[in-house]
Chain A
């Protein structure tokens, strides 16, 4: 069955996760995503090609687990842009592509002679989406980033932490994922604009700006009330600010390094919590309303922790969920991936076939479409795996010509 985006072709220079994650989403809905890689350095524009985890003891540019995860359902071709013939083939590819996407440092595409003006000269209505840490203009245009640096500068690292502790930040590249989501949104919105008006355009994403747009209420509290998030005892992100709730936090459970998250949204939840736990202190007058519980929140949290410490985290969560109170074990990877009935029922971990790695499980998508749902079956492409399909099938080169271009180092 054709996918929702089977009519679209993307000339894809993205890599890592901040770019590759965007075209991955589109490929899962059938867009033809043609990933272009450099044969000379074996595709190492994208360091994830050879990075762990690995499925076995083998190592190399075809065996990086992250690369496979982020590039499912894409085609892979090699093209040496140092050569005139390579540039010519890229021009032919751009001419039949709806979108050119990249997340190099600012200026790389221009240096190759494929900046927006050049792309537009090849195809008037092309959509060009660039994505880097600080965007293609401004004082920090040449600064380099990866996920944790984007998170630091945009205010997200600071926003994550316990009171009177250093920032905890994000233990993964939240803004690589999220930068990719903004890049996918930008591509799709620009396509919608083209459908309506016939116009292509350049969309530039500075990932730090996307990140800084995710802290709105904290920013407004400063610009309106003059109250900075950087103040004594703040932030304390396991507690709830918008709206205020108590109890609200991550509490220790019986076994070492096991935890349960509990949120009492309102008075109904608090009464249900009191009933489910049966703890006498829940009846104390100082906890009778939200205001009181907020004032005495440190003491309250100690008492809640006393109850949770006596129990397993899944057991405590089930008891509270039974009473309608939001609660969950802080799930370890193996718990949420292999033992959570919901992720299994959803089909969240599809298995793809990769030419070298074999069958590997990958991230699925957290959405289901009633008419044109996603498909994730094919693993990330090996270097030049689809040269014949793309240069032959799409651009009309014959097998001999492809073979000689490979021999000459153009492909």
Chain B
């Protein structure tokens, strides 16, 4: 049987018309739809979207067509420029929205648009607005960025180091914007399936601060259920009680996550075999305890505090994994352990993922043509593999106003 792969073909959202009027909070939602085949028209001011000026730039040379940030977030989209202070262009925007299935809006441009008047001429319109706190909410007027969304919304409290003199950490990569955009896409699709049944559109209000709040797992439900507060720890889950470190520096200077230490006879057998194969069984002084672990019928972890031998065995298992990690390269430890059934992971830097054999074999890195620069650029690929209606970058990010002529001609034709 063949697993779904990266093939050409119509995407799942072929024929879906989307107008995107978004700042950086919502623009990722447009990409997620566009890379699945939706026709996403990004509306930019005549001087260009603000993010065209965001670093990094190709060859470190600034320019409206050189922002790698803009490149990434705008693949497969079309660009039209509209001056929303001018009546004629406001008419054009209205005409674009009148023929759209979905309107995505975040930021200042289009903040005055509401669904009620728009539905009068487009009853099926699904209007998705993203904002830091939700439209009309008590804190709606507060200024926000990815940092403040993740810091005020819960994630940062959970992230950081064992040493609490160091600040909590905001995870990198604008994940607060991503999470809001994920909810925007899920919601737009729910509304679309509802419209397929009823013909009716609606307005969806996406609240980024709330999205962060419900994306912090135990940090939230530990309070909701038991009114206890988790505390941050280095490279592992925040917890009410401290847990043992799980991040180890390997021989090549990269870190691994050592996962859950051995706690079954089979996993003690595996770690013994691993040490023996490497020729380190004698050097690892607690080896006899590992062999004891192999012979134990069962491990009752709830007895850990009362059973000294069990505690020693368990400690030796953890120490053995740490010993192996420090002696091996991160990649050797990762694959050697996984082949032996341990749930462990190499801590890759984002660019290192692209050269990993698994990601290459699955076709994750994809090549995108930038003809004006006579250049082919490697991008991160598909987040999911559709057998029949695949993800695909249709085109590199649009040049400013690249699709004005085509889109305006279509509007003129619609107007008859």
Contacts and interface: CB of A to CB of B under 8 A. Distances in A.
Chains A and B come from one and the same complex: yes
Given A345-B137, A371-B200, A170 B338 contact: no
B8 interface: no
Contacts of B394: none
17 contacts: A54-B225, A54-B226, A69-B224, A149-B257, A158-B350, A160-B159, A162-B161, A166-B235, A172-B218, A172-B219, A186-B384, A189-B386, A221-B351, A261-B151, A331-B154, A342-B139, A370-B205
Given A166-B247, A203-B386, A337-B224, A365 B214 contact: yes
B379 A219 contact: yes
A355 interface: no
A371 B228 CA distance: 37
Q: How large is the interface on B (under 10, 10 to 19, 20 to 34, 35 or more residues)?
A: 35 or more
Given A196-B15, A342-B133, A4 B386 contact: no
Nearest to A348: B210
Contacts of B385: 135, 203-206
A337 B223 contact: yes
A214 B353 CA distance: 12
B343 A145 contact: yes
B32 A185 contact: yes
A117 B4 CA distance: 12
A138 B386 contact: no
A197 B380 CA distance: 29
A220 interface: yes
A304 to B, nearest CB: 12
A130 B402 CA distance: 38
Interface in B167-210: 167-175, 178-180, 182-187, 189-194, 196-197, 200, 202-210
B380 A337 contact: no
Interface in A282-323: 321
Given A220-B72, A337-B224, A341-B139, A214 B173 contact: yes
Nearest to A252: B167
A366 B3 contact: no
B229 interface: yes
Interface residues of A, number: 156
Given A185-B189, A263-B148, A363-B214, A249 B350 contact: no
Contact of B380 (A25, A153, A182, A215): A215
B361 interface: yes
Contacts of B377: 220, 223-224
A333 B211 contact: no
Given A188-B186, A223-B354, A348-B214, A53 B221 contact: yes
B59 A225 contact: yes
A187 to B, nearest CB: 9
B168 A259 contact: yes
A146 B185 CA distance: 25
Interface string B230-273: 10111111100000001101000001110100000000000000
Interface stretch (A32-40, A82-90, A234-242): A234-242
B148 A162 contact: no
Nearest to B246: A148
A217 B358 contact: no
A143 B338 contact: yes
A74 B167 CA distance: 39
Contacts of B347: 152-153, 157-158, 167, 169
A364 interface: yes
A147 B353 CA distance: 17
Interface stretch (A173-181, A382-390, A398-406): A173-181
Contact of A189 (B4, B12, B209, B220): B12
B389 interface: yes
B134 interface: yes
A156 interface: yes
Contacts of B387: 201-204
Contact of B389 (A7, A190, A229): A190
Contacts of B351: 155, 218-219, 221-223, 228-230
A257 to B, nearest CB: 5
Nearest to B365: A223
Contacts of A195: 193, 196
Nearest to A226: B351
Contact of A362 (B191, B206, B224): B224
A172 B158 contact: yes
A136 B69 CA distance: 31
Interface in B364-385: 364, 377-385
Given A209-B362, A238-B147, A328-B152, A167 B235 contact: yes
A364 B209 CA distance: 13
B215 interface: yes
Which 6 pairs from chain A and chain B are nearest by CB? A171-B158, A366-B210, A155-B350, A261-B151, A328-B152, A216-B72
B13 A219 contact: no
B145 interface: yes
A151 B224 CA distance: 25
Contact of B346 (A152, A217, A243, A361): A152
A366 B175 contact: no
A336 B364 CA distance: 38
Contacts of B14: 196
A341 to B, nearest CB: 4
Contact of B54 (A242, A251, A324): A242
A363 B214 CA distance: 6
Contact of A329 (B147, B152, B362): B152
